[in-house]
Amino acid sequence: MKLLLRELCVFCLGAALSIQAALGCDVSDDSNFARAAALAKSTNRPLLLAFLGTDWSISSLKLDREVFDQTDFADNSKYDFVLCKLHFYQTRQRSPEIVRQNEELATKYKVQEFPTVIVLSPDGRELGRLGYIPGGVKAFAAAATALVGTAGR
């Protein structure tokens, strides 16, 4: 009986915690944009579109290395976003399809500066936009989360 009770407790605790568990941030790049957008929609998570001047904008480089490349951002279940990095390279040849796609997105969202991170609701509504924020993963994720929270995800 005692054993049964213990198991029941473990079961209930587990069931409760399982609802809390999350994946962390899904990070992909511009070659997977369509998939990232579909994933955000199907999993009801905010989509972050990051426009990065990867080889010419130092702020983009900082944002990428200080936040997006950090395992804490990708693995921490607190950061429940889908991130798609859109690279604007000067010194690297990209496929024309990717270049066109990135330009169309940048035009659609009226991107003026790099980096610009457009925070979108799962259904594609713009909730706000962010740039480089000093302070690493925590500072950036807090700003993104605040945007999502304010917009009443």
Q: Per CB under 8 A, which of residues 2..21 are in contact with other proteins?
A: 7, 10-11, 14-15, 17-21
Closest CA to 120 of 98, 105, 134, 101: 105
Contact between residue 43 and residue 25 where contact means Cβ atoms under 8 Å apart:
no
Interatomic CA distance for residues 11 and 5, integer angstroms: 10
97 binds other proteins (CB under 8 A): no
The residue count for the chain: 153
Rounded to a whole number of angstroms, the minimum distance from the CB of residue 48 to other proteins is 15
Interface with other proteins (CB under 8 A), residue from 1, 2, 5, 110: 110
Query: What single-letter amino acid sits at 34?
Result: A
Task: Give 2's contacts (C-beta < 8 A, 6+ positions apart).
Answer: none
What string marks each residue from 112 to 151 as x (binds other proteins by CB under 8 A) or -? xxx---------------------x---------------
Q: Which residues bind other proteins (CB under 8 A)?
A: 7, 10-11, 14-15, 17-24, 26-28, 32, 35, 39, 42-45, 53-62, 65-66, 69-71, 75, 77, 88-91, 93, 99, 103, 106-107, 110, 112-114, 136
